[in-house]
Structure 1
Amino acid sequence: MTDSVDAQDGNYAAARLRLLTQEAESGPPRRAALAALTDRWLGALADDAAAATGATGWALMAVGGYGRGELSPRSDLDLVLLHEGGSEVAALADRIWYPVWDQGLALDHSVRTAAEAVKTAGDDLKVQLGLLDARHIAGDAALTSALRSSVLADWRNQAPARLPALHEMCQERAERQGELSYLLEPDLKEARGGLRDATALRAVAASWLADAPREGLEQARTRLLDTRDALHLVTGRATDRLALQEQDQVAAALGVLDADALLRQVYEAARRIAYASDVTWREVARVLRARQSRPRRRLLGRGRTPAPQASPERVPLAEGVVEQEGEAVLALTAKPDRDPVLPLRAAAAAAQAGLPLSLHAVRRLAAAAGPLPVPWPAEARERLLSLLGSGEATVPVWEALEAEGLVTRLLPDWERVRCRPQRNAVHRFTVDRHLVETAVQAAGLTRRVGRPDLLLVAALLHDIGKGWPGDHSEAGEVIVRDLAARIGFRRADVDTLALLVRHHLLLIDTATRRDLDDPETIRTVADAVRDTSTLELLAALTEADALATGPAAWSTWRASLLADLVERVAGALDTGELPEPGDRDPTAEEERLAVEAGRTGGPVLALHARAEPDAEGAEDAEALGVELLLAVPDRPGLLAHAAGVLALHRLTVRTADLRSFDPIGAGPVALLGWQVSAEYGALPETARLRTDLARAFDGALDIEARLAEREAAYPRRRGITAPPPRVTVAPGHTSQTATVLEVRAHDAPGLLHRIGLALSAAGVTVRSARVSTLGADAVDAFYVVGKDGQALPAGRAAEVARQVEAALR
């Protein structure tokens, strides 16, 4: 008997390996073939085990994914051994389970009587879901059939209580795992729109209470299963997470162009499943509400029938659109084939009412609605603006339109950004969803601008050029000119929209990376935006874009920098005058500190702590900011030493302004104005900070050694491979009085100190700096001058950039 079992195991292993290495057979056929092969092997094992132990009254069942006949290369074998009692069952189970483990296969198993299985299913929703897909492998088929019938009957009887619990389980999982269709490293099984949601839809259908919209659903599910198969074969592991480092290999295994194309296909599949889930759970809720509100039938006597139920109330929302049972549906008199504006009218009415657009309505519109005239009629444009101006309610309505292809029919260029991934950790959404989210954020800012219509359309289209090669702002400008004309905007408005898209990054880049005291900075922005009306639109678009991007893209500090820039540019545009080049006069406090530093020869500083206001204007005690003024006799390496001391005290530098003047005629005094924030804990004591600064300037404090000790005390996170730092010279028109070096690097404690050392070693002086952090990346700009106090020649500037970059590497 042992020889027979060994032979079976060897044959199964060889056959399994052949099946998994056959490139010609993949997808559903391979999963089904692998399941069938495993069935035969397990069936033979079970029969041999029963013969050896004398066991009777048993059945071996596959449940879960294996029960559905969908066995991926590294999937667990989910098995249940049913029995009617008897002492042989333990030996029978061992003779089945151990050969499985010997093959190195993951096994999820249980041994139960039919009564125990039914009770466990009643107590544990996950067990019940698994048993819904139970399939007979070996033994007494009547046992399997009886259990399946019992579990299915219980599921249908308990559906009113079980389905809300299942819905809650899906929502909790989505909160933990996120949206599959937006994640750069999605979990194909657990994330919202993944395989578990597809299984939940099967369970809802089995309840007979509701059913999912089936069009495209099976194809979406198959796409995720195929991707998981390729992931298993590429990694050799039972994993559902599509990690960045494996995406190119998985794409190649599936015959897909590249990792981006793979993610796009995965996102499309996930959206189909997520949308089907939304529609299905709405239908479940509607059915359950109807059951709860249905009056109990009375005994009416022989020959009498119940009174007919009234039709659901239909409340008008717009021409051809009504509300019915919590959804926006088409009116009975609506004629989609004769009313090309109806899709936008229905979408706007649904969003304005905060209602979902019914599946039936969207499909009817997609099937019958004709194309809009070009340019669009005024009503179509107004309905689009009403949809975009509805805030959060816009998102589900837009998703419903997109699921049935109506968005790309209205805006053909949308196809290039649909489901397009953004390989940037700062972004939390795909390009298309980011555009919709920007419009949602812009809807809350429309009271700030004179032309809210232009703000909303610019928000929706500002990144539309990301589907084309080259600079997406330049490509977007061309696309938006065409789209805006198609939508029906007049020529002047088309020009404004094109400008907003072309320069949608101008304000935030300038505010965070340029010296706002440099008149050339203000001149450049003023020349680009033309007038104050466009400036206010661009400021609102900038804020909406940042809020839609993610937490790392917007903060009270970035908001204050943007507001400062806008105020200065607005002043220049209002008066028509720009400030003359030259340093601003020091404030009274700055002059006092400089005088004292010149008199004493030591560092003099002042710390001002303040709680930063949040988005609503209230103070956030946790966002503690610090204004630090430091005056010290000018000397080489000043920036590096000061930044190193701040790093030792766990102060993160946000901005740095460095100027030099002679307040008492005794020699130049450097005045450093810093905006810093505490990483955590209390603010440093002024006396201790002053002492460390003095020691650093005198050479008594070894900053590099202290920073190295602190870094060694905290083990580095493994698995992080940051791209190398990059140092470039900004265009010559950026400043008339200094050369601007831009540094992009992985943020780390002491980075500014290292940059300061490198600049000092290169023989240049830092006049001012703009320091900002986006996620894990530092994006810094340094205004440097040579020994003559002037901007560097082009060749010298390039050489300094190369030296700094080499030092940071």
Structure 2
Amino acid sequence: MTSVETSKETEDSGPGGYAAARLRLLTEKERSGPPRRAALARITDDWLAALFAAAAPPRGTALVAVGGYGRGELSPRSDLDLLLLHDGSADPAAVSALADRIWYPVWDLGLDLDHSVRTPAEARKTAGEDLKVQLGLLDARPLAGDHALTAGLRTAVLADWRNQAPKRLPELDALCRERAERAGELQYLLEPDLKEARGGLRDATALRAVAASWVADAPREGLEGARRRLLDARDALHLATGRSTDRLALQEQDAVAGELGLLDADTLLREVYEAARLVSYASDVTWREVGRVLRARSARPRLRGLLGRGGGKPPVPRTPLAEGVVEMDGEAVLALTAKPERDPVLPLRAAAAAAQSGLPVSLHAVRRLAAAAKPLPVPWPAEAREELVTLLGAGEATVPVWEALEAEGLITRLLPDWERVRCRPQRNPVHTWTVDRHLVETAVRASSLTRRVGRPDLLLVAALLHDIGKGWPGDHSVAGETIARDLAARIGFDRADVAVIATAVRHHLLLVETATRRDLDDPATVRSVADAVGSVGTLELLHALTEADALATGPAAWSSWRASLVADLVKRVGAVLAGEPVAEPEPAAPGAEQERLAIEALRTGEPTLTLRTEQAGEESDEPEPLGVELLIAVPDQPGVLPAAAGVLALHRLTVRAADLSAVELPEELGGTGTAVLLLSWRVAAEYGSLPQAARLRADLIRALDGSLDIPARLAEREAAYPRRRGLQAPPPRVTVAPAASRHATVIEVRAQDAPGLLHRIGRALEGAAVRVRSAHVSTLGANAVDAFYVTDVSGAALAPEDASEVAMALESALRA
């Protein structure tokens, strides 16, 4: 649509002409992005100007676009920010009538409107009291009426903004920080707010405001393109949803990607993350410069007094940090004698020195290094490898330095495979970060664990590379092993160290998965881990990497319970690697409490149980609880597992681990030849306090005799609390783990976690006529990963064909 056509289509000042032109514009597939936003602003300008003229406005009035509309950034469902400006000479009733003639047609079309009626003096006063109003007026643009009135206001507001910069810019910085705290960092969120989150459109607007203050200016390279990509994503979001929304929800991402002509939702997120990362980095650099300039301004009167009139400008002190690197004015900069074109190690040396000193690297230094630094030889010299390890070992200070190098392309130059994981989203909600930031965060976590290992350098590099395979298809641990082997050799490690790093990457999930999903009393479990790890040194490195990886993943990935299981496994594997034999387990005799419960169960013929809180240790005054141990004794009968699991689900208890065994008590303890089924489970309350043991026992009795319909009760709860719409969970998957145990068959279940899942699994296993020897239950975010050790009725492991049939039946039951 040309500008001539646009003008013709909006000659009618009523809503019909504008609405038709707007609809045609938004349905044009060949025009999108900045041209469509500009055209939408133009036809809106024409329509509002016509409304203003048709209302016979009194003299000394003007209609002004402010905020996003003032910048001409109208997305399909953007609200209109309008100011009706008047000089105070007109009759107030006439001004009010003029406002009504403009506002009501906008409301009649269902458009959101942010409006005000003010004199220039009132507008300046309000701006002085409300920072957001002042920011909106910085983009004031005349639409109709007295343009000189608008120009005068804009000039005055800009002058106020520049004069008040020492006060207003810190307020704006605080506003941006508060918003980031509330909305999070756009570049890491699975459902980001394109406007409010850090690195979003509001931050891009704040950078324009800083530039208007003449105090500092943002790095321009790529910033406008990043802002354009975020605006394009918001346009597509409005068109896909038909709503005025800035939150890129999961269920909308495929449609938004389609609107933008992108391959899929992951491609969309990666583009959005790239843009947000650029805006965030520009914000960091800009606000650092604002602080430096304002500090310098505040120090000038004092310095003039110290130096006297005509004393000249004092030199800025430089403190050496490393060869070619100095500290100046709170930043790490290159020394005057530095020669990056002759010193290939300088980028890593500067980064390591900055991180160790807790300083940011100056923008000028990073850009000079990116432009002039000579590539490192392959393999790297020892100094380069040591500087990388020093950088990774600096803790939290590593993150901003790494991001500065990454923003200028230095990281992918040093580690070419980094490009495949850069800004790559992780769909599992357990993960807090994108793949690349998770790798850096893991190194940060590992830096606090270096005293636990003999080779801290191998731990830090393995932490940085452990998920590097996520940029390739297939099992990321397998792909990562190959990439880590190549990169470790590139970095300059010898053959033996390369093998250790590759092993750590290949098996970085081995300890936590084995500890939470396998029977640690089974010799086959411990031997398989020992065979994979190979040495005590590798085991201790893998132990630290496991903890660092989990802590960097998110709060749902690590707990005292998981830590205790992993530590137990490491202790057992360490004994094997040290040459100690692994004894075949003997049937465990029931403990005193289990024996008491079993005697009571035989005497009454009903289940008995007890709840007991466990603690992580006694190192502190208030040791952290590992969970609650639930002991149940039931006369052996069918349906115990699903009944017990169902009762726990009804009482909102999460099962973390379960052990089941059948014992026969000797006659002197009341044994009658009837077996007693003992269940020892570790549970945790979803929220609130634990239920009373008496209530659990009563409901378990009812579940076993059939008077408590557990499936119906669980269905009622699910209907009352429906899961979020639009989230399509992958189907459940049930597999048989070969050679995981000589005494039982291990069946693994991976499914969407839901109330009563363990109950459904128990019913399916009962229906398959197998006995559950033990269960190892693990929940990661919305995913349940459970392992069941099952036998036939005689207590032997299942034949391979029988195990496959059980797995297929269980998967079918869960899918149904």
TM-score normalised by the chain length of structure 2: 0.94
- What is aligned with 2:84? 81
Alignment partner of 1:31 is 2:34: no
Quote how far apart the aligned CAs of 1:8 are: 5.1
Aligned twin of 1:272: 278
Check the 8 A contact 1:5/1:45 in 2, yes or no. Answer: no
- Which of 288, 299, 320 is residue 282 of structure 1 equivalent to? 288
Q: Which moved more, 1:347-356 or 1:676-685?
A: 676-685
Query: Which residue of the partner structure matches residue 474 of structure 2?
Result: 470
Q: Cα deviation per residue 1:388-414 (whole Å; 9 max; x = unaligned)? A: 001100000000000000000000000
Counterpart code for 1:441: R
Task: Work out which of the residue numbers 683, 696, 702 in structure 2 matches 1:689.
Answer: 696
Q: Residues 300, 421 of structure 1: CA spacing in aligned structure 2 closer, same or farther, 3 A cutoff?
A: closer
- The residue aligned with 2:6 is none
- In the TM superposition, residue 298 of structure 1 has moved relative to its aligned partner by 6.8
Corresponding position of 2:407: 403
Any residues of structure 2 matched to 1:733-752 within 5 Å, and which?
Answer: 733-752=739-758
Partner Cα distance (2:312, 2:148) in 1: 44
Q: 1:718 offset after TM fit, Å?
A: 4.2
Counterpart code for 1:492 = A
CA distance in 1 between partners of 2:551 and 2:417 (Å): 24
Alignment of 1:698-713 (within 5 A): 698-708=705-715
CA distance in 2, matches of 1:413, 1:188: 29
Cα distance in 2, alignment partners of residues 298 and 685 from structure 1: 75
CA shift for structure 1 position 583: 3.4
Question: 2:12–2:18: 8 Å Cα contact kept in structure 1?
Answer: no
Q: Which residue pairs with 2:343 in the alignment?
A: 339
Residues 578 and 707 of structure 1: is their aligned pair in 2 closer, same or farther, counting only changes over 3 Å?
same
- Measure, in 2, the Cα distance between the counterparts of 1:707 and 1:266: 40
Q: Determine the structure 1 residue equivalent to 2:48.
A: 42
How far apart are residue 745 of structure 1 and its match? 2.4
State how far apart, in whole Å, the 1-side matches of 2:797 and 2:10 are. Answer: 86
The amino acid of 1:800's aligned partner reads: V
Contact (CA 8 Å) 2:11, 2:17: kept in 1 or not? no
Q: Does 1:632 align with 2:634?
A: yes
Number of the residue aligned with 2:519: 515
CA distance in 2, matches of 1:613, 1:127: 56
- How far apart, in 2, do the equivalents of 1:560 and 1:791 lie? 29
Among candidates 479, 486, 489, match of residue 490 of structure 2: 486
Contact 2:745 2:803 in 1 (8 A): yes
Spell out the pairing of 1:635-714 with structure 2 (5 A cutoff).
635-664=637-666, 666-708=673-715, 714=720
The DSSP-based 3-state class of the residue aligned with 1:575 is coil
Shift, 1:354, TM fit: 0.5
> After alignment, is 791-800 or 353-362 more displaced?
791-800
Change (3 A) 1:229 1:306: same
Question: Match for residue 363 of structure 1?
Answer: 367
Q: What is the CA-CA distance between 1:602 and the residue it aligns to?
A: 3.4
Distance in structure 2 (CA, Å) of the matches to 1:318 and 1:570: 41
Structure 1 pair 595–11 and aligned structure 2 pair: CA distance change class (3 A) = closer
Is this contact kept in 1: 2:10–2:47, CA < 8 A? Answer: no
Residue 771 of structure 2 corresponds to 765
Provide closer, same or farther for how the CA distance between residues 451 and 584 of structure 1 changes in structure 2, counting only shifts above 3 A: farther
* 1:348 counterpart (341, 349, 352): 352
What code does the residue aligned with 2:329 have?
E
The 8 Å contact of residues 613 and 619 in structure 1, kept in 2 or not, is answered as no
When structure 1 is superposed on structure 2, of 518-527 and 371-380 the one drifting more is: 518-527
Q: Does 655-664 or 335-344 show the bigger shift? A: 655-664
8 Å Cα contact 2:79/2:114 also seen in 1: yes
Provide Cα deviations, 1:172-219, integer angstroms capped at 9, x if missing partner.
110111111011111111110000000000000100111111111111
Distance 1:137 1:4 in 2: 15
Q: Distance in 1 between matches of 2:560 and 2:525?
A: 22
Cross-structure match for 1:619: 622
How much has 1:717 moved relative to structure 2? 4.3
Tell me the CA shift for residue 791 of structure 1: 1.6
**Most deviating of 262-271 and 86-95:** 86-95
CA–CA separation in structure 2 for the residues paired with 1:344 and 1:299:
42
Paired with 1:533 and 1:124, the residues of 2 have a C-alpha distance of 61
Query: What letter matches 1:515 in structure 2?
Result: D
Residues 300 and 375 (structure 1), Cα distance of their counterparts in 2 relative to 1, 3 Å cut: closer
Once the two structures are overlaid, the 10-residue window that deviates more, 380-389 or 791-800, is 791-800
* Matching residue's letter, 1:457: V
Distance, in Å, in 1 between the alignment partners of 2:237 and 2:704 is 56
Q: Using the alignment, how far apart are the partners of 1:212 and 1:436 within structure 2?
A: 26
> Do 2:10 and 2:18's aligned partners in 1 also have CA atoms closer than 8 Å?
no
Matched AA of 1:81? L
Alignment correspondent of 1:65: 68
TM superposition shift of 1:296:
4.5
The 10-residue stretch of structure 1 (724-733 or 82-91) with the greater mean CA deviation from structure 2: 724-733
Counterparts of 2:271 and 2:694 in 1: how far apart (Å)? 59
Indicate whether 1:165 and 2:192 are aligned: no
Matches within 5 A, 1:144-159: 144-159=150-165
Q: CA deviation at 1:777?
A: 2.1
State the 1:119 CA deviation.
0.6
Structure 1 distance, partners of 2:163, 2:590, is 80
Is the 8 Å Cα contact of residues 737 and 748 (structure 2) preserved in structure 1?
no
What is the CA-CA distance between 1:297 and the residue it aligns to? Answer: 7.6
Query: 1:693 and 1:436 mapped to 2: Cα distance?
Result: 48
Residues 729 and 739, structure 1, Cα contact 8 Å, conserved in 2: no
Deviates more, 1:774-783 or 1:416-425: 774-783
Displacement of 1:618: 5.9
Q: Does 1:610 align with 2:617?
A: no
How many residue pairs align between the two structures? 799
Shift of 1:708: 4.6
Match of 1:729 in 2: 735
Alpha-carbon displacement from aligned partner over 1:396-452 (angstroms, at most 9, x marks no partner): 000000000000000000000000111111111110000000000111111111111
CA contact (8 A) 1:556 1:613 kept: no
Which sits farther off after the overlay, 63-72 or 457-466? 63-72
Q: Higher mean Cα deviation, 466-475 or 739-748?
A: 739-748
Q: Percent identity?
A: 72
Question: How many Å separate the matches in 2 of 1:300 and 1:503?
Answer: 64
Q: State the 1:739 CA deviation.
A: 1.4
Secondary structure at the aligned position of 1:115 is classed as: helix
- Structure 1 gaps of 5+ residues are none
Shift of 1:306: 2.2
Shift of residue 795, structure 1, vs aligned partner: 2.3
Structure 1 pair 246/124, CA: closer, same or farther in 2 (3 Å)?
same
Query: Deviation at 1:762?
Result: 1.4
* Map of 1:505 onto structure 2: 509
Taking the aligned partners of 1:791 and 1:556, their CA distance within structure 2 comes to: 32
Equivalent AA in structure 2 for residue 356 of structure 1:
P
SS at match of 1:357: coil
Residue pairs, 1:117-136, within 5 angstroms: 117-136=123-142
597-606 vs 395-404, greater mean Cα deviation: 597-606
Q: Is the 8 A contact 2:344 2:375 kept in 1?
A: yes
Pick the aligned partner of 2:313 from 305, 309, 312: 309
Using the alignment, how far apart are the partners of 2:344 and 2:570 within structure 1? 42
- Quote the Cα distance in structure 2 between the aligned partners of 1:300 and 1:769: 76
TM-score using structure 1 length: 0.95
Q: Secondary structure at the match of 1:504?
A: coil
Aligned to 2:734, the other structure's residue is in SS state strand
SS at match of 1:294: helix
Instruction: Name the CA distance, whole Å, in 2 between partners of 1:7 and 1:286.
Output: 52
Cα gap change, 1:617/1:269 in structure 2, threshold over 3 Å: closer, same or farther?
farther
CA distance in 1, matches of 2:589, 2:579: 21
Alignment of 1:86-125 (within 5 A): 86-87=90-91, 88-125=94-131
CA 699–236 in structure 1, closer or farther in 2 if over 3 Å, else same: closer
Q: In 2 relative to 1, CA 162–620 (structure 1 residues): closer, same or farther, beyond 3 Å?
A: farther
